[in-house]
Structure 1
Amino acid sequence: MKSIGMSKIGLVRQRNEDRFYIGDSFCIVTDGMGGYKGGEIASTMVVDTIAADMQNWQTVSVDALRQAVAKANTAVFERVQATPALEGMGTTAVVAYVEGTTLYWANVGDSRLYVFHEGQLTQISTDHSMVQALYDAGELAADDMLQHPQRNVLTRAVGVGPVVDIDGGAKELASGDRILLCSDGLTGYIEEAVIEEAFRKEAKDDRLVEDLMTLVYDHGARDNVTIVIGTID
């Protein structure tokens, strides 16, 4: 898998609490939250902990991915316990590992994983957010999710408790398929159909990242945004 990523501070933000990491076979995106510099600390710790763990792997599995995220959760939680000023900090995390044509993934929070296959963009991860819970309960229409005042409220995050429930799975891909990992700075403001159309129009991943960033900034870039795109060999 060949991957490229970019992270930029939003136009109304003072610091970028997003982080990403690209390894030979895996990608990670995190979006931190909470307290003075707390989000930056949490998102950086989680990326560093997961990446260090995954670099030593000989084989990959969904359970191994979950365990890596769980280890990162413990690291952040223990940091908060030792430093009360950091109380409330945490982060999202979405991780993708490609072995051959098999995609293994794990996520916590509302940073997302998508697969683009034969012209169609499909969301693989599920958001752990208030608006997703309201939508699942039939109390919120899909068209209203991007405008809801609680769209940034998470129901799960890495580091806010001693344990965290981690989603994960595996999916078979085909050569030429593309994956997208991103923070909600993209999906919280740009409709999925618009993102899908950008994928259809641009075959080069580096230019696609730029195109998606332009869309975000054209819409005001009210949040930090991180985008990682990979193409399966």
Structure 2
Amino acid sequence: MKCIGMSKIGLVRKRNEDRFCIEGPFCIVTDGMGGYKGGEIASTLAIDSIAEALRKLETPSEEALQHAVSEANRMVYERVFTEPELKGMGTTAVVAYEQCHTLYWANVGDSRLYLFDDDGLVQISTDHSMVQSLYEAGTLSSDEMLTHPQRNILTRAVGVGANVEVDCGHLSVESGNRILLCSDGLTGYIPQDTIEAMFNEQSDDERLLEDLMALVYDAGAKDNVTIVVGTIE
């Protein structure tokens, strides 16, 4: 799996609380929250912890990724006990690890993983957010999710409690399949069908990354945005 990523602060925020890591067979995106410095500390702690755990893996599995994210949760949560002013900080986390044409994944929060193949762009992860809960309850449409005033409220995040439930899974992938990991700075403002159209139009991952980032800025870049795209080799 060959991946490329980019993270930008946007046009409104004063600091970038997003982080990403691409290393060999895995990639990670985190998006921090929690006031002054808290968000960037949480996202950095989490991504460093997850990456360290994945580097040690000989055989990936759902359980291994789930454990890595759970350990990151513990580290972020315990940091608050040494620095009480950071209380309430947390972060999203989405992880993908490919080996032998199997893609293992895990996520907490609303940073997303997508697969692009012959069936188009398919969201693999599920958001842990207020608007996702409303959508699943049938009280909100997919279009309304992009403009709802509570769209930034998470129902699950890394580091806000002693324990966290981590979604995980795996799926078969083929050479030429492409993946997208991103923070909600992309998906919170750009509809999925628009993103899918850009995947169809642009086969070069580097140019696709630049085009997606330009799309966000054309839309006002109201949030930090982190995008990782890659192709299964």
TM-score (normalised: structure 2): 0.99
State the identity as a percent. Answer: 66
Give yes or no for contact 1:65–1:106 (8 Å, CA) kept in 2: yes
> How many Å separate the matches in 2 of 1:119 and 1:79?
43
Counterparts of 1:100 and 1:207, CA distance in 2: 27
* Partner residue in 2 for 1:163: 163
Q: Deviations over 1:192-213 (max 9, x none)?
A: 0000000001001000000000
Q: How does 1:130-149 map to 2 (within 5 A)?
A: 130-149=130-149
CA deviation after TM superposition for structure 1 residue 141, in Å: 1.3
Deviations 1:105-141 (A, max 9, x none): 0000000000000260000000000000001111111
Match in the other structure for 2:84: 84
Matches within 5 A, 1:97-116: 97-116=97-116
Q: Tell me the residue number matched to 1:172.
A: 172
Q: Deviations over 1:20-40 (max 9, x none)?
A: 000100000000000210000
Give distance in 2, aligned partners of 1:75 and 1:101: 31
Which structure 2 residue ranges, 5 or more long, are not aligned? none
Counterpart residue number, 2:22: 22
Do the aligned partners of residues 214 and 119 (structure 1) sit closer, same or farther apart at CA in structure 2, a change above 3 Å counting?
farther
Q: For 1:229, give the aligned amino acid.
A: V
**Aligned partners of 1:152 and 1:198: how far apart in 2?**
25
Partner of 2:117: 117
Letter in structure 2 aligned against 1:182: C
Instruction: Tell me the amino acid that sits aligned with residue 35 of structure 1.
Output: G
Q: 2:10 aligned with 1:10, yes or no?
A: yes
Aligned residues: 233
> Which runs of 4 or more aligned residues in structure 1 lie more than 6 Å from their structure 2 counterparts after TM superposition?
none
**How much is the aligned-residue C-alpha RMSD, in angstroms?**
0.6
Name the amino acid aligned to 2:191: E
Query: What's the CA shift for 1:87?
Result: 0.5
Q: TM-score, normalised by structure 1?
A: 0.99
> In structure 2, how many angstroms separate the alpha carbons of the residues matched to 1:151 and 1:48?
27
Cα-to-partner distance string for 1:57-109 (whole Å, 9 max, x where unaligned) = 11000000000000000000000122110001000000000002100000000
1:94 counterpart residue number: 94
Work out whether residues 186 and 226 of structure 1, in 8 Å CA contact, stay in contact via their aligned partners in 2.
yes
Q: Which runs of 5+ in 1 are unaligned?
A: none
3-state SS of 1:213 partner: helix
Counterparts of 1:198-209 in structure 2, within 5 Å, are 198-209=198-209
Matches within 5 A, 1:54-93: 54-93=54-93
8 Å CA contact 1:35, 1:87 repeated in 2: no
User: What amino acid does structure 2 have at the position aligned with 1:218?
Assistant: D
CA distance in 1, matches of 2:121, 2:212: 14
Structure 1 counterpart of 2:123, one-letter code:
Q
**For 1:147, what is the secondary structure of its paired residue?**
coil
Residue 231 of structure 1 pairs with residue 231 of structure 2: yes
For residue 32 of structure 1, what is the aligned residue in structure 2?
32
